Amino acid sequence: MNRIFEPRGYSRVRDGTDVSPFLNATDTKQMDVPLGRLGDMSIAAGRIGPKIHSWVHLHPVVTQVTYLLSGRLCVRMQDARAAQPYDVGLRPGQAVVTPPETLFQLRNDNEEIAELLYITAPSYVHASIGNDLIYDDAVMVAESWEGLGLINGNVSVFEAQANRARALRRIAELKGDTSEPLTKEDVISLKSVTPYSAPDGSEIRMLISGEHGGLAHCVLAASKPSVPVRHQTVEELWYVLEGSGEVWRGRNGEEPRIDHICTGDSIRIPVDTSFQFRADPAGDLKLLIATMPRWPGAHEAVPSVGGFATETK
């Protein structure tokens, strides 16, 4: 990536404004930018002519930062908490954030061109083959706010995420970065996995992992407390397969809590939350643990404070 990137030429997009590809690994117009090399973000250059209003549109998945380079711009938005649309006026050097599922319109009511940068996270997905559009992260809702009542602006986020995932697989294929075929998606048996001791002292068997998460089997011996730890980047979802016990969770600035868990219960360990758990004397505590993203390694868990006394040797 030892190179300089520049806008690649403006073209009219579906919202009626001009956009130039810039830095985006998930845009089929930028085949020379490898997937994954920019992280999960993208940048595009934008240009809105005098007296031009974009369509009212929304992004079901991505968050967009609109940064004004020159000119003046009004961004009209309406999110779920707003009964009516509201205007945010930008001067050069200012930016506005548009969260997912927010209706918005870019309005240049002035006599000069407005030049912008669009920064999105996750990376903006635009997939087309020739003149055929496969997927676009922007959903056009209405040509104007007056037309909103005539058009159903509701978009299923889950459907958009599924369509987006299909488009990403297609982009990966076009860029030669294909995933493993289904013929290599083996079934992982619990008995075939060698256990290891986790940083918290429990016995872990890593079962299977995917692009966005992983699954593990955890056993904590009867009457045993774990070592208190904190995960730096991973969120965990626990399901109790067998046994019972208690979970202590604490986070800076909040009162800690202790919850009793037993077979059939589930619990969440958010990112950057200190936690400790212990099994009741009646038997081992067995958990099924989902991690998002997938477990990065033993360095993920760092020592922390807890609510239970730990065993001493």
Contact 267, 258 (CB under 8 A): no
> pTM of the prediction?
0.72
Q: In this model, does residue 202 exceed pLDDT 90?
A: yes
Taking residues 185-205, what's their average pLDDT? 93
Instruction: Label residue 155 by pLDDT band (50, 70, 90).
Output: low
The percent of residues in the chain predicted with pLDDT above 70, rounded, is: 96
User: What mean pLDDT value characterizes the chain?
Assistant: 91
Q: Looking at residue 177, what is its pLDDT?
A: 77
Cα–Cα distances in angstroms (integers) from residue 122 to residues 10, 110, 161, 224, 239, in the given order: 22, 31, 12, 41, 29
Q: Looking at residue 132, what is its pLDDT?
A: 86
User: How far is residue 56's CA from residue 54's CA, in Å, rounded to a whole number?
Assistant: 6
Give tens-digit pLDDT for 54-89: 999 999 999 999 999 999 999 999 987 888 899 999
The domains found in the chain, sorted by start residue, are 11-174 (2.60.120.10), 192-303 (2.60.120.10)
The answer, yes or no, to whether the previous bond of 122 is cis (omega within 30 of 0) is: yes
Q: Looking at residue 67, what is its pLDDT?
A: 98
User: How far is residue 138's CA from residue 141's CA, in Å, rounded to a whole number?
Assistant: 9
Give tens-digit pLDDT for 227-279: 999 999 999 999 999 999 999 999 988 999 999 999 999 999 999 999 999 99
- Continuous segment of H or E residues that includes residue 146: none
Q: In this model, does residue 21 exceed pLDDT 90?
A: no
Q: In this structure, what token pair is assigned to residue 207?
A: 């079962």
Residue where the block lists tokens 């809590």: 257
Give tens-digit pLDDT for 100-143: 999 999 999 999 999 999 999 999 998 888 788 889 999 999 99
Taking residues 165-186, what's their average pLDDT? 82
